[in-house]
Amino acid sequence: MDDAMTALPLVFDAPRRTKPPRHLADLTRDEARAAVTELGQPAFRADQLARHFYAGVTDPAQMTDVPAAAREDLAAALLPGLLTPVRHQSADGGRTRKTLWRLHDGALVESVLMRYPERATVCISSQAGCGMACPFCATGQSGLTRNLSAAEIIGQAVAAAAAMANGEIPGGPGRLSNVVFMGMGEPLANYARVRKTLDALLTPAPHGLGLAQRSVTVSTVGLVPAIRKLTEEGLNVTLAVSLHAPDDELRDTLVPINTRWNVGEVLEAADGYARRTGRRYSIEYALIRDVNDQPFRADLLGRLLAKRLAHVNLIPLNPTPGSQWDASPLPAQREFVARLRAAGVPTTVRDTRGSDIDGACGQLAAADQVDGVPSVAVPVPAVEEGPVEEGVPLGAESDQG
Ligand code: SF4
């Protein structure tokens, strides 16, 4: 490992920035009703606005159940446009669509919508940039710009749901079924807003997107107190831990948060979540050539996980131009999988959707500098599916998930 790997400090507190405008999705239902009343409208208008927001209606003229005279004012006050699409980029025949969004202060984030025969998943960002400083991840190298508000996070999922409902993705109108927090940022470092987002995703329509708990995946590099807090919430969403190394010596450099909470502590916290929910958690492991892909590390990981309620999701690293980090060659990937399976650990290889649209979440943002706002770039992993129990054929560009 070279020294550059540990050069960046971990950043937990987002720099102070101007807050995004108030949005209905940031408010509780009672708060929204109070806000509408303050605007001289009956409280039930808040429910009407919520219905329009979660249905993806952005044009006040379409909110025909709200009196025409009040539409513009209510929408301006409670449904400000927080996410401006800068560009869409498609791959896989249009079934994968990455969107670069500009936020009110010029910060850039991405989401990726992936349509499969049986489901549609959106990968969303929870922060602009990331403070976790993983050296193989360009977003981490760019640092943390700021936390996203709940409405900014929720808005990405709502936009994806609307794109599906409107038939913008080939295959006809459909329904968004899955959300994964694997875009930019460390979701559990923005806990309160991510928690609020979970409510919005899980609350039945019309006051939320009505997704199933197991269809929502929260990922973390291992913020142990936050995993414990999530455990106490009583939710059953899927937990994914980005481990990337089975031993503290390597993980201290590859995932610097490990110097705060080590492999054993992270797995113990994830075990606690699995015990409470009765659900298998996912171990995300980006396979990086000659860094963490050695057979002995596969064996070590296998021993660590053999008796745990966990499965491994291997991610062939998507190399970025000019990066010293490279994907593991196929034979090394195969060997790694075989050793994990031999140890009795359910193992899948992640679908590499979108690899022909600059690969990872973040690369679109890397290409755009807006008004001097630092770009955020290339988090790895990027395009992710929720855990699956059956293996995807190794090396296959499967769209079956
Ligand atoms: S890999 Fe994930 S946690 Fe690590 S710096 Fe990148 S976005 Fe942050």
My answer on whether 130 and 161 are in the same domain is yes
Query: Of the candidates 308, 288, 177, which has an alpha carbon nearest to the alpha carbon of residue 239?
Result: 308
Pull the structure tokens for residue 30.
């009672």
- What range does the domain containing 43 cover? 23-80
My answer on whether 146 and 278 are in the same domain is yes
Pull the structure tokens for residue 247.
């031993």
Report the catalytic residues. 110, 361
For residue 9, tell me if it sits in a domain.
no
| Ligand 1 center to 134 CA (angstroms) | 6
Ligand 1 binding site (Cβ under 6 Å of any ligand atom) = 130, 132-134, 137, 139-140, 184-186, 221, 379-380
Query: Of the candidates 146, 181, 189, 124, which has an alpha carbon nearest to the alpha carbon of residue 374?
Result: 146
User: What pLDDT tens digit does each residue of the chain (401 aa) get?
Assistant: 444 444 688 888 777 677 899 999 999 999 999 999 999 999 999 999 999 999 999 999 999 999 999 999 999 999 999 999 999 989 889 999 999 999 999 999 999 999 999 999 999 999 999 999 988 887 888 889 999 999 999 999 999 999 999 999 999 999 999 999 988 999 999 999 999 999 999 999 888 999 999 999 999 999 999 999 999 999 999 999 999 999 999 999 999 999 999 999 999 999 999 999 999 999 999 999 999 999 999 999 999 999 999 999 998 887 666 778 888 999 999 999 999 999 999 999 876 665 544 434 444 444 443 333 322 322 333 333 333 332 322 322 222 22
| Counted domains in the chain | 2
For residue 148, tell me if it sits in a domain.
yes
Ligand 1 pocket test: which of 11, 139, 384 has the largest number of ligand atoms within 8 Å of its C-beta?
A: 139
Pull the structure tokens for residue 113.
């919508």
The strand ranges marked E within 56-133 are 84-91, 96-102, 108-115, 120-123, 127-129
My answer on whether 94 and 63 are in the same domain is no
My answer on whether 189 and 56 are in the same domain is no
The confidence score (pLDDT) of residue 82 equals 96
| Ligand 1 center to 220 CA (angstroms) | 9
221 — phi, psi (to 5°)? -85, -5
| Ligand 1 center to 362 CA (angstroms) | 11
CATH number at residue 54: 1.10.150.530
My answer on whether 158 and 46 are in the same domain is no
Q: Looking at residue 149, what DSSP letter applies?
A: P
Distance between terminal CA atoms of the chain? 33
For residue 35, tell me if it sits in a domain.
yes
Q: To which H or E segment does residue 346 belong?
A: none
Which atom of ligand 1 lies nearest, measured to the CA of 141?
A: 5
**Which residue, 52, 80, 108, sits at the end of a domain?**
80
